[in-house]
Amino acid sequence: MSGPHSAEITATLADGRVVGGRVYRLVHGPQDLLSVWNARVVWDFAPAIGDAGAAGMDAALSALAGWLRREVPTTELSGDTAVQVTWPSHDVAVFPVLLAHGLVPTTVLATRPLGLSTLHRSTDVRVRKATMSDLDDVAKLAAEEMRFSAQVVGATPRDNADELIRINAERAVYFGGRVYLAELDGVAVGVAVCGVTDPADSPTLSRFLPAGTWGYLGQVAVQPNLRGQGVGAALAEGSLRLLEPGLEQGTFLFYDVANPLSSVFWPRRGYRPVQTRWICRPAANLR
């Protein structure tokens, strides 16, 4: 990701109130793992509308659309580009406005408190920490999940996607030590690429989560022919059991709204939506 490039956007409502927000230009280059799921150029808008509600959001997005057309070259608004807005999942009053401006909900940031117990069907699945000797299995399972989720979010295929997934898996296993493997009869059937972070260290996460140590679940994958048989539930529970000790807050993850698996699976595990990411692709389509 390159940058930062940002600008303030403002608009004045009929009653004199000023709304707007800040827009950030994010670039996902060929060697950036995020390019697997995201457009090459993303204009990330953080609205600042106070209590102005739908009217405030409408004015802010209209101002953003005007600013983009005035200030940004046409090539950065067409093709492999996007505008994204992340907004509280429960503020449904502004949803019609987001839709009217050409944005669609794609991804949910969800959180889970510490110590929450969940039930799953009894399986013979064993969950353990992955080592470097498991790298081939980790990369294969993660790549399979990537191909599925990329379809769900309508991502542009990348020729080097498998390579980027493998590099990320290797780094996660070697440096993070929080990659968990699910085995059934000694065969790797699932993986959870997890980690620990403090939102205070991230300009993006700090907008949505309070400071303190959080655990996160990145890619979670189950062998396709074993989905729906309790493997994923055992993997999630086992991973959380290994991940949660020492955390100050809870755990979080991102799941895709249109994913028929994760949109059901994670709420059953106790995850509740906090923020929803809305996307307009290409950026020129923002109204």
Are 73 and 123 in the same domain?
no
Residue-wise pLDDT for 116-134, tens only, equals 876 666 679 999 999 999 9
User: Looking at residue 122, what is its pLDDT?
Assistant: 61
Q: Is 91 a member of any domain?
A: yes
Q: How confident is the model at residue 15 (pLDDT cuts 50, 70, 90)?
A: very high
> Given this model, what pLDDT does residue 120 score?
61
Q: Indicate the number of domains in the chain.
A: 2
147 and 262 inside one domain: yes
Both 149 and 93 in one domain: the answer is: no
Q: Which of 32-46, 94-108, 109-123, 169-183 has the lowest mean pLDDT?
A: 109-123
Tell me, yes or no, whether 50 and 123 share the same domain: no
Contact between 114 and 250 (Cβ < 8 Å): yes
Average pLDDT, the chain: 93
Is residue 236 located within the same domain as residue 152? yes
Indicate whether 58 and 128 sit together in one domain: no
pLDDT band at 1 (very low <50, low <70, confident <90, very high): very low
Residues 179-206: what's their mean pLDDT?
A: 95
Q: Are residues 136 and 100 in the same domain?
A: no
Q: What are phi and psi of 250, to 5 degrees?
A: -130, -145
Residue 245, domain member (yes or no): yes
pLDDT at 231: 92
CA distance 222 to 208: 29
> Is residue 240 predicted with pLDDT exceeding 90?
yes
Range of the domain at 85: 2-107+277-285
Cis amide prior to 282 (ω within 30 degrees): yes
- Cβ neighbours around 192 below 10 Å, total: 29
CATH of the domain at 235: 3.40.630.30
Q: Is residue 224 part of a domain?
A: yes
Residues 101 and 139 in one domain: no
Please report whether residue 55 resides in a domain.
Answer: yes
Tell me: pLDDT of 149 over 90.
Answer: no
> Model confidence over 62-107: pLDDT tens digits?
999 999 999 999 988 999 999 999 999 999 999 999 999 999 999 9
Mean pLDDT of 44-55: 98
Q: What is the average pLDDT across 192-211?
A: 95
- Rounded distance between C-alpha atoms, residue 103 and residue 222, angstroms: 31
Q: Are residues 57 and 97 in the same domain?
A: yes
End-to-end CA separation in angstroms for the chain: 26
Give CA–CA dist 34/28, Å, rounded: 6
Mean local confidence (pLDDT), 32-54: 96
DSSP assignment string, 71-135: HS-GGGTSSSEEEEEEEETT-GGGHHHHHHTT-EEEEEEEEE-TT----------EEEE--GGGH
> Do 225 and 258 sit in the same domain of this protein?
yes
Query: pLDDT tens digits for 212-238?
Result: 999 999 999 999 998 888 899 999 999
Residue 173 contacts residue 136 (beta carbons within 8 Å): no
User: Does some domain include residue 193?
Assistant: yes
Per DSSP, the three-state class of 263 is: helix
Q: Clarify whether residues 21 and 70 are in a common domain.
A: yes
Q: Are residues 122 and 252 in the same domain?
A: yes
Residue 167 is predicted with a pLDDT of: 95
Residue 112 placed within a domain: no
Q: What percent of the chain has pLDDT over 90?
A: 83
Tell me: pLDDT of 2 over 50. Answer: no
